[in-house]
Amino acid sequence: MHDESTVGVASGDYGDVMVDLILGYECNVKCDYCSVCDEMRAHNMTTADALAELARARGLGIRQVAFGGGEPTIRRDLFPLIRWCRERGFTDIKVSSNGLMYSYEAFARGIVDAGVTRFHISAMAHTAALYEKILGLRGGLDLVARGVDHLVALGHIPVLDLIIKDDTWSHLPDIIRFWAAHGVRTFPLWLVSLTDRNADNVQSLPRVSDIRQKLFQAFDVGRELGLNVYSRHIPRCMLKGREDHARDLRQDRVLVVTPGSRFFLWESSISPNTYTPRCQGCRYRNGECQGLRRDYLARFGDAELEPYPEDS
């Protein structure tokens, strides 16, 4: 694992850091874009491992925690881990999920009662056919929608992380409208990544210049409906005219802990963290912009970058 002192946080400076605990890679579905291969699914933390990492984080002064995977909601120890965090001073407890388990009202109520303060759901589509194609589960859309409805009824409106890929980008405005009708207000947009199991599925990753107008329409729908719609993986110079919708991952100080590694989110192979010669002289380099994702650069190069002159 990386030592935390080498990855961008000064000693003792953990007050605004979130530890993102990737409990393991087991899941209850196999999405067609998932980067988790079968070998990775065998790597999972024990409860003791998870508690040790949580205690370590709390000892550093961290008060924010996220549980991810894989699919954390299928773990039998999730509720006890959440309660442990709540009882030991974690004030912000987040769970990232595919949302299927929330379709059981008792489960949704139980996880809220355990102490979760924020829910993130990875969503894919707005029609039953497309959702089933991506998720690989018949009735998946109805289950996730029911889960969202349960959380909203419990006073916990989830954030929907929308996955942009070859068969979803053209539907983004409609997808946002669909989920907004279920009460969702916040929609981070994430480009699918070409890593591990999805590395050879190159057609799944669209070129930003090909989908830019649809992205702008999605941002416009957000403004029309009073929603928070923004991009997490696209440099601002590729969204000119909508730069205010680009969010740098360094704005979230997230320390990711997996069954075998520890790193900050912006270091990840699926995060934008690479500058090219075209970035030289851009006024946002080393500031608000983190550059391109490595898999995107390998697929499409950097010709789409339009750097901002320092004196403009």
CATH number for the domain that contains residue 227: 3.20.20.70
Which pLDDT does position 14 carry in this prediction? 82
Instruction: Tell me if 225 is assigned to some domain.
Output: yes
Place of tokens 């070998």: 39
Instruction: Tell me if 300 is assigned to some domain.
Output: no
| pTM, full prediction | 0.92
Instruction: Tell me if 48 is assigned to some domain.
Output: yes
Instruction: Tell me if 122 is assigned to some domain.
Output: yes
Determine the 3-state secondary structure of 266 from DSSP. helix
| Helix, strand, coil distribution of the chain in percent, nearest 5 | 40, 20, 40
Which pLDDT does position 312 carry in this prediction? 54
Which pLDDT does position 250 carry in this prediction? 65
Determine the 3-state secondary structure of 159 from DSSP. strand
Instruction: Tell me if 253 is assigned to some domain.
Output: yes
Residue range of the domain that includes 170: 4-268
Which pLDDT does position 126 carry in this prediction? 97
Instruction: Tell me if 277 is assigned to some domain.
Output: no
Q: What is the tally of structural domains in the chain?
A: 1
What distance separates the 2 farthest-apart alpha carbons in the chain? Answer: 58
Instruction: Tell me if 273 is assigned to some domain.
Output: no
> Which residue positions in the chain have pLDDT lower than 50?
1-11
Which pLDDT does position 7 carry in this prediction? 43
Instruction: Tell me if 238 is assigned to some domain.
Output: yes
